[in-house]
Structure 1
Amino acid sequence: MHVVRGKKIEVLFSPEEIAARNEELAREIASGPSQDLLVIAILKGSFVFAADLIRALHKVGLAPEVEFMTLSSYGTGTVGKSVRMVKDIDSEVEGRDILLIDDILESGRTLRFARELMLERGAANVSVAVLLDKQNKREEALEADYAGFRCPDKFVVGYGMDVAYAFRELPFVGVVTGDA
């Protein structure tokens, strides 16, 4: 149990487990569509996972270009009904293999929007890599091509994921269990 900002945090996935899984994911991705690969990290929560996965991709011989996209489906509440583009990519995607990276696949709404957008723009292939797959929350017909871990139905923090901008710096994925 860790205490951060006066909150108890239970570790779900340790830094060592995450690092090992990132290396496995990189090998899986390298065996899939990766010609003229463009990696698009969906910000903000994916930034730590994306950075580590991109370095793991380098270790297995891939040299992707990297872009960032910011999408919002939450607004002021925790459940969104539509996806809004906050920041688009600058690169052309026509004819390219695209790898979308996000921290967590829950409803599927945000990643489905991003995937369909890239296909509409002429991408040859669009794959999805997520650190966490929360399958029991799925509302859209979308599955990750590459998933790090199956996530229990808990609100998670750390490794880039936050609560009100806090806890992103944690090197593990955890659950806030209460006050210290």
Structure 2
Amino acid sequence: MTVTINTLFDEDAIAARVDALAREIADARPERLLVVAVLKGSFIFAADLVRAMHRAGLTPEMEFMHLSSYGAGTQGADEVRILRDVESDVNGRDIILVDDILESGRTLSFAKERLAKRGARSVRIAALLDKPEHRKAAISADYVGFICPDKFVVGYGMDMGHAWRQLPFIGYVVPDEETSSGETRGE
């Protein structure tokens, strides 16, 4: 099977936006900052963001949370299952939840509420991509990389059937009839 992927946001645009987000976060002067990456899709974004935070003068600690939405259909789920939880004490800390894409908002809403109930001083969200037209939960990101068009995106940590996470850019899958120049082809 051939897959065509067109570039949506290139490496330079992503790097510039990640640096800008880190400066925005530093300007907020967080206390006892804990960055919580929501696995799996956010791992590349989270790694680049914490390095950019370091360059901006912050000294964040890092944790991981692995959540799974599940239900009867393919359009998202109403229930969230915890596969890996934050192990650090979050009481009194400023937390930045980092995710690759804020779409329905159910998973991030669940994570934010869970950390707040555990005593976090604040819980803010940094989303690389925001698809506000797909929101199902009353939540928004505090720090947004890019507004994402209604396309299936891959690369920079995001996958399609466990493939394409390694791409250094964010691309979108193109149906065969929409193939255009500037594409990447894979098997």
So what's the TM-score if we normalise by structure 1? 0.94
For 1:106 and 1:74, locate their aligned partners in 2 and report how far apart those are by CA, in whole Å.
15
Structure-2 residue corresponding to 1:32: 28
Residue 74 of structure 1: how far off its partner (Å): 4.1
Deviations 1:100-147, CA, capped at 9 Å, x for gaps: 000000001010000000100000000100100001000111010000
Letter in 2 for 1:14: D
C-alpha distance in structure 1 between counterparts of 2:75 and 2:36, whole Å:
24
- Match of 2:108, SS state, is helix
Question: Counterparts in 2 of 1:96-175, with a 5 A limit?
Answer: 96-175=93-172
Contiguous gaps of at least 5 residues in structure 2: 177-184
1:38 & 1:135 partners in 2: Cα distance? Answer: 26
Matched residues in 2 for 1:166 and 1:131: separation?
A: 19
The aligned residue for residue 19 of structure 2 is 23
Asked if the contact 2:70/2:81 (under 8 Å) is kept, the reply is no
Alignment of 1:58-73 (within 5 A): 58-73=54-69
> Using the alignment, how far apart are the partners of 2:127 and 2:28 within structure 1?
15
> 1:20-45: CA deviations, max 9, x gaps?
00000000011125110000000000
Contiguous gaps of at least 5 residues in structure 1? none
Distance 2:28 2:57 in 1: 13
- The answer to whether the 8 A contact 1:33-1:97 is kept is no
The count of corresponding residues between Structure 1 and Structure 2 is 176
Q: CA RMSD in A?
A: 1.4
SS at match of 2:174: strand
Decide whether the 8 Å contact of 2:151 with 2:173 is kept in 1: no
CA distance in 1 between counterparts of 2:60 and 2:54 reads 8
| Equivalent residue number for residue 86 of structure 1 | 83
Contact map agreement 1:10 1:177 (CA 8 A) in 2: yes
- The runs of at least 4 aligned residues of structure 1 exceeding 6 Å deviation read none
Measured in 2, the distance between the counterparts of 1:84 and 1:158 equals 25
Identical columns (%): 57
TM-score between the two structures when normalised by the length of structure 2: 0.90
Letter in 2 for 1:140: A
**Contact 1:42/1:101 (<8 A) preserved:** yes
Question: Cα offset for 1:82?
Answer: 1.1
